[in-house]
Structure 1
Amino acid sequence: MTPRPRKPRRPKYSWSPPANSLTSKTEIPVCAACHSRRSQPFEYDRTGQPLMDSFLPATLDDGLYHVDG
């Protein structure tokens, strides 16, 4: 019998906020910094700055996004 592969461990530096602690107003800036299609025009850390002052989100170009999400 072949052993099952082990599930990879999460790195110790990963962070997930409690799901019930964020409103949409706070969730979007917190999550979008890592989980959005964007460019970062600055070479230095801008932690704590408003999202739109730190990143340039990708526009809705053909082939980048799908109609169903």
Structure 2
Amino acid sequence: MRNHNYYVNITTNPSKTTLYIGVTNDITVRLGQDRENKGTRKSFTGQYYCFDLVYYEHFTHIEHAIER
């Protein structure tokens, strides 16, 4: 049986005035993408500079991550 990795993550902007909550299967890649998009309108995290990780949780089932 294969192990699956899913993460719920909360990021914020440098002034800590905006939060973003997301679900991903590769938190390292996702945080890198958020940083690459900073200042652009490509994504919410880019537009609002939400690339500072505040919190994350690991799950092995996507349903549990989404439910959380």
Higher percent of residues as strand: 2
TM over 0.5, shorter chain: no
Choose 1 or 2 for highest CA Rg: 1
Q: TM-score range by the shorter chain?
A: under 0.3
Q: Return the structure number with greater relative CO, CA threshold 8 A, min gap 6.
A: 2
TM-score (norm 2): 0.19
